[in-house]
Amino acid sequence: MQIFTSWPSWAHAEGALSRALPASTVTSLRDAVAFAGRRHGVQQRPTGRPYVEHLLEALEVAVRGAGLSDRDVLVATVLHDVLEDTPCTEGEVARRFGPEVAALVRWVTKPGGGSKADYLASLAKAPPRAVLVKLSDRVSNVQELHRMPWRFQRRYYLETVAYIMPLAGAHPWFAEWFGEWRGRWRRVERWPG
């Protein structure tokens, strides 16, 4: 199973992105990473690592793994948590990166007040490009699930199998990746709840 952790900073990502994507897309991504870095500030992942590493992992999944090159999808992948986890507004994202990027980010943002299960179920109605953003995000989140407490592992595994893996079916690379991941983690299904 391929792991995507070789771009912990923009300096690590830029060369590979420049070889894979048009210069204008790389420029947009550089701007998005800087924007997200400012918005997320000192936030950390549950593992204690800087939050921007997650955003770059999701981008690496999209580009190196799934072979995506759609500028709006890639920029939305970098920005996917700014509406949910920072004071940033959809209007700010739209003004800076365009209304399509803002719409994609909105689709993958859990609305306040709703349950996580309702949000995850609603992704079945999301546009295909928004699904690609969510799939890239989730690969980043689950690829090193072993670093998390076991109760979190079980909950997140079951969520991924129930809600995310069905979305991956329409995207062969993601379907294969999640299938291999599930095979490695299937033992979690036997753990007590």
| Domain range annotation of the chain | 10-190
**15/2 Cα distance (integer angstroms):** 20
pLDDT in tens, 67-94: 999 999 999 999 999 999 999 999 999 9
pLDDT at 150: 83
Question: Which parts of the chain sit beneath pLDDT 50?
Answer: none
Sequence-ordered list of residues with C-beta below 8 angstroms from that of 146, at least 6 positions apart, any chain = 153
List residues with catalytic annotation. 84-85
- pLDDT score for 137: 97
Tokens of 120: 């995850």
Mention every residue, 6+ apart, whose C-beta is less than 8 A from residue 136.
58, 59, 61, 62, 65, 66, 68, 77
Q: What's the pLDDT at 193?
A: 62
pLDDT at site 49? 84
pLDDT digits (tens, 9 = 90+) for 104-117: 999 999 988 778 88
- The residues with which 44 forms a beta bridge, in sequence order, are 50
Are 56 and 10 in contact by the 8 Å Cβ rule? The answer is yes
CATH class of the domain defined by 10-190? mainly alpha
Q: Are the CB atoms for 183 and 148 separated by under 8 Å?
A: no
- pTM beyond 0.85: yes
